[in-house]
A = this chain, B = another copy of it.
Amino acid sequence: MDHAPSLSSKGRLAIIAGKGFLPLYVAKAAQMAGEQPLIIALRNEADGVFDGFETVTTGVGDLATIEGLLRDKGVKRVILSGGVARRPDWRDIHPTLRTILKVPSVLRTLLSGGDDSVLQMVIKLIEAMGCQVLGAHEIVPDLLAKVGQIGAHAPSGDDLRDIEKACEAARRLGELDIGQGAVSVGGRLVALEGVEGTDRMLERVVSLRAEGRISTRRKGVLVKLCKPQQEMRADLPTIGPSTVENAIKAGLAGIAVEAGRALVLEEDKMIALADVAGLFVCGLDSGLPAGGLR
């Protein structure tokens, strides 16, 4: 089925979709806001089912195809949404010569740096294709975590201490342009997130706990923060029902994320799970005393 390009003066919206639930949420929310989003699903990454949306699949590095699609479909606004687990090697990235010439920093960037610089590069390339790159929250502002308690339970005094400890670690990791998550149990940092991601880190906490290498008497807290140099248009820290499920398995007391700079997926379902399990979920405002929790 071929959709006509949007007649909106803002041009049609495209969602470049990686792993996870987020791209589908953004697509649905955009549709409810009157958009006709084009889904550009990244091969081996996108795993959502985009029924009812015009969907094209392409390779992660196949920028020439993406450029052609954006032009042919009248796309003027692009959202990058969902994870990209496999980092494209520079040899897999095929921009057109024309695009490269417009963004001379691209080759430099491809040869160095952390995740952020690759994202920045992708954003520059898409902008060089004549599109605006938006954050998911600009289309679905409700996705951003709010300050304070989310759900029925609040962190205890011990939990606040763990939040503080894990925050300090997550902040330093962010400065190193790696990970966004840390787990503290009983005032002791036990796990730091690298390339493996939050779910794997929590699985590690489950095993360490089973082996007695983490106290089973203290619960502990997962904190996810933005990197200080975080590109708000991609890769915001995200929590949702699966994060809560994994935190429960890991025996944690709760989860804290950065308010306004983290996405909450399927909030109702997530809260229901957390409430039943007695888990707290909260949004931190680093500008407020105790993160805005008291």
Residues of chain A having any CB pair with chain B under 8 Å: 85-87, 89, 112-115, 168-169, 172-173, 175-179, 183, 187-196, 200, 204, 208, 211-215, 217
Q: A86-B211, A87-B214, A169-B176 are in contact. List 12 more A-B contacts (CB 8 A).
A: A86-B212, A89-B215, A89-B217, A113-B187, A115-B188, A172-B172, A173-B192, A177-B189, A178-B189, A188-B195, A195-B208, A200-B204
Q: How far apart are the CA atoms of A127 and B169 in the complex, in Å?
A: 33
CB distance from A53 to the nearest CB of B (A): 27
- Interchain CB contact (< 8 A) of A215 among B87, B114, B191, B196: B87
Q: How far apart are the CA atoms of A215 and B112 in the complex, in Å?
A: 13
Per DSSP, are chain A's interface residues mostly helix, strand or loop, or mixed?
loop
Q: How far apart are the CA atoms of A178 and B191 in the complex, in Å?
A: 9
Q: With A85-B211, A86-B213 as given contacts, are A176 and B189 in contact (CB-CB < 8 Å)?
A: yes
Copies in the complex: 2
Interface CB pairs A-B, < 8 A, 6: A85-B211, A113-B188, A190-B194, A194-B204, A195-B208, A196-B213
Q: How far apart are the CA atoms of A166 and B115 in the complex, in Å?
A: 16
CB contacts (< 8 Å) of A208 on chain B: these are 195-196
CB contacts (< 8 Å) of A183 on chain B: these are 194
Q: How far apart are the CA atoms of A213 and B84 in the complex, in Å?
A: 9
CB distance from A250 to the nearest CB of B (A): 13
CB contacts (< 8 Å) of A192 on chain B: these are 173, 178-179, 192-194
CB distance from A220 to the nearest CB of B (A): 11
Q: Are B187 and A191 in contact (CB under 8 A)?
A: no
Whose C-beta in chain B lies nearest to the C-beta of A177?
B189
Rank and list the top 5 A-B pairs by shortest CB-CB distance, nearest first: A178-B189, A191-B194, A192-B192, A86-B212, A190-B195
CB distance from A201 to the nearest CB of B (A): 8
Whose C-beta in chain B lies nearest to the C-beta of A193?
B192
Q: How far apart are the CA atoms of A256 and B190 in the complex, in Å?
A: 23
CB contacts (< 8 Å) of A168 on chain B: these are 176
Q: Are B189 and A194 in contact (CB under 8 A)?
A: yes
